[in-house]
Amino acid sequence: MKDFHGKVAVITGAASGLGRAFADTAAGLGMKLVLADVQAKALEHTAEELLDGGAEVLAMVCDVSKGAHVQELADAAVARFGSVHLVFNNAGVGCGGLVWENSEQDWEWVLGVNLWGVIHGVRMFTRVMLECAQRDADYEGHIVNTASMAGLLTPPAMGIYNVSKHAVVALTETLHHDLELVEAPIRTSVLCPYFVPTGIAHSQRNRPDELASHERATASQVAAQLMTEKAVEAGKVTAQDVARITFDAVREGRFYIYSHPQALGAVGERFDAIVQGRPPADPYAATPQVRDMLKAGVRGRR
């Protein structure tokens, strides 16, 4: 997809972080916007600012972990704009700690948003886009699923997040093959950002009450949270940078999108270990100070 003007973009997690940056970039390119988020006030503020800037906007509060909500979003997008061209399955949350210390509620919350949110987006919007293609011989569509470098690496004390993002990578790769199989005019990409200053480190603010964990935070969970906050806040690549990189990738039809390609050395080491049958490579081999800080925190030392 090279021409964005007048096309329709659907963005989940649109009220902040990468989602907001995608919305700003899409608006600047003359796209019509369908914005979804669980943060009602932040979503309203985002929509108002974009409307004031001249964009056509449909904003809906949407919990992507619920299929019925995503179906309502898809139905509303078609009812308002008639078609959908570019979909960002982007909403995400984070939760850390030693993998055996996470509660069932932790798993349900993170997998619900990070994985089921993408599953619902793929299920609902791929069908919509295929229907659009049947009505328009010149139709072009693109689906971008937000994973993470944690979808290609397995850093410690991030088990739930790693699992969710690895699944998004596998889902998107399979979607690519399935779309090729039916010769659909729809391309797909998986976005794997590293540490980018967004609100992901504070996503607990959006955790629903029914999935709240009432257990006291363990040393590993506290350490993982502190490390994530520091790493995210120190990120030099901004959400706006990632949006620019992502739209360039859509123009060029690239599948894998990286915000920090220098991190791919660790990915290569991981896959070498897989091929050679060795134990998993240390994702912090190049930054042992990070591993040492995390280890001290997990053991309860400050």
Distance CA 2, CA 168 (A): 25
CB 19 within 8 A of CB 91: yes
Q: Given its phi and psi angles, is residue 160 left (phi above 0), alpha (psi -120 to 50 degrees) or beta? A: alpha
- 194: annotated active-site residue: no
Classified as helix, coil or strand, 92 is coil
Distance CA 259, CA 280 (A): 23
Beta bridge partners of 86: 9, 142
For 130, phi then psi, to 5°, come to -65, -40
For 212, phi then psi, to 5°, come to -65, 140
Distance CA 84, CA 260 (A): 29
> Which one of 161, 194, 258, 284 is the catalytic residue?
161
> Minimal CA–CA distance to 86: which of 38, 28, 134, 26?
26
Q: What residues contact 36, with CB distance under 8 A and at least 6 apart?
A: 10, 11, 12, 13, 14, 43, 59, 60, 61, 62, 64, 73, 91
Distance CA 164, CA 117 (A): 10
Distance CA 125, CA 133 (A): 12
Amino acid at the residue 223: A
Distance CA 144, CA 299 (A): 39
Residues carrying an active site annotation: 161
